[in-house]
Amino acid sequence: MVTERSARESPELRAAEQVVLVVDDDEDLADTCRYWLDGERFAVETAYGGKEALSRLDDTVDVVLLDRRMPNVTGDDVLEEIRERGLDCRVAMMTAVEPDTDIVDMPFDAYLVKPVSETEVKETVEELLVRSGFDSEVREYFALESTEAALDSRDVEELREPEALSDLRSRLEAVRAEHEEAIRNREAQLDRLNRTNELLRDVDRALIDARTRDEIEQTVCETVASAHEAAFVLRRTAAGTLRCTAAAGHGLDPAGVDIGFVDEAFDIDGTVEDGFAFDDISEAHRAAVFGDDAAALDAVSALCVAIDYRETMYGALVVYDETDGFDDESAALFSDLGATVGNGISATQSKQLLNGDSVVELEFQVGGDAGDTGVLAGLSATLDCQLSLDSASRLDDGLTCFVSVAGASGADAVEAAVDADDVSQARVVSDGDEESVVELRTDAEAVLSTAIDHGASVERLTLSEGSGSLALHVAADADHGALVEAVTTAAPGVSVVAKREVERSVQSPDSFRRALDSKLTDRQRTVLETSLVSGYFEWPRGSTAEEVADSLGISPPTLHEHLRTAERKLIETYFDELSPAPADD
């Protein structure tokens, strides 16, 4: 049977709607936990004390990480208030207080003893979010089990009331006996969750060492296959078709993988939008994938998820496991894995774009009689001037553009931009006699946004009286056809006119260092180095600005002045090396 599960659309799996509240009067620790959890499939908030936590707590909070030892309003007080209000959230006590038998009757769900690790915090939050969907009796069992595990870390003779631990174990046995089947099913679910989370961490670590897209795809397949039966990657080709480019498990060879059995997971455009589950694949499907090994396997299920990043679809990951089906949590986590792989591919191509000896340049004609192609083209037409793009940064809801204006003043450009409906902010950065620079924030530059989302670097955009040319640089192994199609359909009046390979001069590390050394003073260099080795640039910081300044025998304001100047020179040198000035003729 084939079933389609909308892992990304299901309300139960919409991670952004799940809220984790970190409560600790140690602001650095609370911020560190938030830093660890940010970017996961839930929203994270902090409260720097019990009183602040009580004012924030309501029925929108799903998980609370709660310190016990806080002044005025303790963690125990907050926990009691949570239960008195009837708030249905899971609570993990996260404290330096060693557990004792006084915790036996406390209504928490997990107990973490400081110092805590990033992995420990992430695993606890993920598990508690899943436990929220359990029946109350099963949740009680896992809460009691967490309490027992905390007390097991102590020697029995050191406990205040050793018999309380015996009573707790008796309660555990009684609850399990009454709900044996439900508890076993939920234990299996949590085991799958933990295996998948461990897999995600393994993939993250593996991606750090991968240098090319081929390496990323093969590494992901091998890592996934080590925890499941097999995996393969399907890559979208320039012609829009799919082909297997990497595989692992049961001796799979990419050239021999029959992808016809997973066609149902893809739409007519060759993309898979959601986690698509094949529950207990057919014997023919099993034989096509596993060959002679198929007879030795019991029920085998498959899951297909997209490998994508922002608006770019790189392909799909297909995972096989000897199980009777992938549950919704696994589908959602594997969808996250697909996004992680897509992000890794995008980052690799960006590195190739920055560091490669050659890149592909795509040139487009913009504007003309075919219609409006965005705010910048519209401004150049309205002001009858020339615009050139200096930089464009992607925001969640649009772009921030820095634009040089010739033939009109910066004030006139800002006034015209403010009158446009799609510009949320405009200001003059510098106003010269012949050329000005303005900053614009807009959500109506579809061509630039599309190019950036597809991993292209905007090399230049020049506009005059509503029309002009756009040049994009992309990595040599990027999907150039998909990029051209996306850009030319993003707005009317855009057409590709040229594709060429561009050789770039290689800047050596030594030349970069010499260029920077020529700009930094001895004091600036010393301040940078001392700040680096003292941990000032890390988060949480190993040293404060005051501590670094004291070690150098200077005041904090002087330190900041040297740092800002040195950082500006470092950044200027970096971007000069990226785009060196043309040699004089």
For 374-408, write each residue's pLDDT tens digit.
889 989 999 999 999 988 887 767 888 899 999 99
pLDDT band at 21 (very low <50, low <70, confident <90, very high): very high
Average pLDDT of the residues in 445-474? 89
174-178, 209-213, 522-526, range with the lowest pLDDT? 209-213
Determine how β-strand 358-367 pairs with β-strand 312-321.
Answer: unpaired
Write the burial class of residue 295 (CB in 10 Å: 0-12 exposed, 13-18 middle, 19+ buried). Answer: exposed
Q: What is the model's pLDDT at position 98?
A: 82
Domain 7-163 fold is Rossmann fold (3.40.50)
How far is 235 from 220, CA to CA, in rounded Å? Answer: 13
Q: What is the model's pLDDT at position 25?
A: 93
Q: In this structure, how many other beta carbons lie within 10 angstroms of the beta carbon of residue 90?
A: 24
Strand partners, 406: 386
- Tokens (6 digits) for 335: 């969808």
- Phi first, then psi: give them for residue 76, nearest 5 degrees: -60, -40
Q: 277-297 pLDDT, tens per residue?
A: 888 888 888 888 888 888 788
The CA-based dihedral angle spanning residues 551, 552, 558, 559, taken in that order and rounded to the nearest 10 degrees: -70
pLDDT band at 583 (very low <50, low <70, confident <90, very high): very low
The answer on pLDDT for 520 being more than 80 is yes
pLDDT band at 1 (very low <50, low <70, confident <90, very high): very low
Instruction: Say how many CA atoms lie within 13 Å of 420 toward its Cβ.
Output: 28
Output the CA angle 188-138-38, nearest 5 degrees.
Answer: 70
Higher pLDDT, 219 or 239: 219
Residue type, position 212, single letter: T
For the CA atoms of the chain, what is the radius of gyration? 29
Average pLDDT of the residues in 452-475? 89
pLDDT band at 155 (very low <50, low <70, confident <90, very high): confident
Q: What is the model's pLDDT at position 582?
A: 44
pLDDT band at 61 (very low <50, low <70, confident <90, very high): very high
The answer on pLDDT for 307 being more than 70 is yes
The answer on pLDDT for 330 being more than 60 is yes
- Tokens (6 digits) for 390: 């200096």
The answer on pLDDT for 120 being more than 80 is yes
Domain 509-578 fold is Arc Repressor Mutant, subunit A (1.10.10)
Question: Given its phi and psi angles, is residue 530 left (phi above 0), alpha (psi -120 to 50 degrees) or beta?
Answer: alpha
DSSP string, 143-207: HHHHHHHHHHTS-GGGSS-HHHHHHHHHHHHHHHHHTHHHHHHHHHHHHHHHHHHHHHHHHHHHH
3-state secondary structure of 411: helix
Share of the chain above pLDDT 90, in %: 21
Residues 499, 491 contacting (CB under 8 angstroms): no
Residues 311, 450 contacting (CB under 8 angstroms): yes
The answer on pLDDT for 50 being more than 90 is yes
Determine how β-strand 386-395 pairs with β-strand 276-278.
Answer: unpaired
pLDDT band at 7 (very low <50, low <70, confident <90, very high): very low
Q: 341-359 pLDDT, tens per residue?
A: 888 888 777 776 666 667 8
Q: What is the model's pLDDT at position 372?
A: 65
Q: 424-446 pLDDT, tens per residue?
A: 889 998 888 889 999 998 888 88
pLDDT band at 30 (very low <50, low <70, confident <90, very high): very high
Residues 88, 60 contacting (CB under 8 angstroms): no
Q: What is the model's pLDDT at position 281?
A: 85
| CATH number of this structure's domain 191-354, picked from the four choices 3.30.450.40, 3.40.50.2000, 3.10.28.10, 3.40.50.720 | 3.30.450.40
How far is 251 from 243, CA to CA, in rounded Å? Answer: 18
Q: What is the model's pLDDT at position 526?
A: 86
Query: Which of 246, 279, 245 has the alpha carbon at shortest distance from 264?
Result: 279
Q: What is the model's pLDDT at position 62?
A: 93
CA 319 to each of CA 234, 262, 293: distance values in angstroms, whole numbers, following the listed order: 11, 11, 16
Q: What is the model's pLDDT at position 357?
A: 67
Query: Which of 55, 52, 32, 54 has the alpha carbon at shortest distance from 44?
Result: 32
Domain range summary for the chain, segments of one domain joined by +: 7-163, 191-354, 358-503, 509-578
Average pLDDT of the residues in 118-131? 89
Query: Which of 127, 115, 54, 116 has the alpha carbon at shortest distance from 90?
Result: 127
The answer on pLDDT for 13 being more than 60 is no
DSSP string, 447-498: HHHHHHHTT-EEEEEEEETTEEEEEEEE-TTS-HHHHHHHHHHHSTTEEEEE
Residue type, position 356, single letter: G
The DSSP 8-state label assigned to residue 363 in this structure reads: E
Containing H/E element for 54?
A: helix 50-56
Give the chain's mean pLDDT: 83
The answer on pLDDT for 410 being more than 80 is yes
Q: What is the model's pLDDT at position 298?
A: 79
pLDDT band at 327 (very low <50, low <70, confident <90, very high): confident
Q: What is the model's pLDDT at position 10?
A: 35
CA 509 from centroid of its chain's CA atoms: 30
